[in-house]
């Protein structure tokens, strides 16, 4: 771990709450079959029951890429050695930010539900993503991310 844990809520001027004292990051892994790895979020979690990327709060002084890889490893058993980072996209609200790290999986691996935040992990064909009930912020970001894939 690099620095103090960022596990805390940040409240914006409009009262909206975001997870991650130092911002947050998530990993969008893309398989050689043009699928992305998605997490079905536990019902008790923020926007529970929706699908999104494995990810979470950044630690103090932790880069977004390191945070996304760490969180994906913790939540989905993603092996960082099988990833090649392609690009990042940042949602910056001024007081909080979320970085989506997009990486190619050199080979398709089996994800592992390794913490209570996930109901299920699944590789989903890129063209089928919009059929799922998506986390609202992921749903907003998906068209732009999809265009860059």
> Domain of 89: which CATH number?
3.90.79.10
Strand residue runs (E) in the chain: 9-11, 17-19, 24-30, 35-41, 51-52, 55-57, 83-92, 97-105, 118-125
Q: What does the alpha-carbon distance between residue 100 and residue 115 come to, in Å, rounded to a whole number? A: 21
Q: Angle CA(35)–CA(39)–CA(42) in degrees, nearest 5?
A: 160
Indicate the number of domains in the chain: 1
Structure confidence at residue 147 (pLDDT): 96
- The phi and psi torsions of 134 (rounded to 5 degrees) equal -90, 150
pTM for the model stands at 0.91
Residues 22-51 have pLDDT tens digits of 999 999 999 999 999 999 998 888 788 999
4 is a domain residue: no
How many angstroms separate the CA atoms of 66 and 46, rounded? Answer: 22
- The pLDDT of 69-97, averaged and rounded, is 95
pLDDT tens readout for residues 115-135? 888 899 999 999 999 999 999
Query: What range does the domain containing 36 cover?
Result: 9-142
The pLDDT of residue 2 is 55
């Amino acid at each position: 771990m690099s620095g103090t844990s960022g596990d805390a809520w940040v409240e914006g001027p409009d009262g909206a709450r975001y997870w991650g004292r130092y911002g947050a990051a998530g990993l969008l892994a893309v398989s050689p079959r043009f699928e992305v790895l998605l997490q079905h979020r536990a019902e008790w979690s923020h926007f529970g029951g929706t699908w999104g990327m494995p990810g979470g709060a950044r630690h103090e002084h932790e880069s977004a890429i390191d945070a996304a890889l760490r969180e994906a490893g913790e939540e989905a058993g993603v092996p960082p050695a099988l990833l090649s980072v392609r690009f990042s996209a940042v949602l910056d609200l001024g007081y909080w930010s979320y970085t989506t790290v997009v990486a190619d999986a050199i080979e398709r691996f089996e994800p592992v539900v390794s913490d209570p935040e996930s109901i299920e992990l699944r590789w989903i064909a890129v063209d089928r993503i919009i059929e799922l009930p998506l986390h609202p912020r992921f749903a907003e970001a998906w068209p732009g991310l999809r265009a860059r894939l």
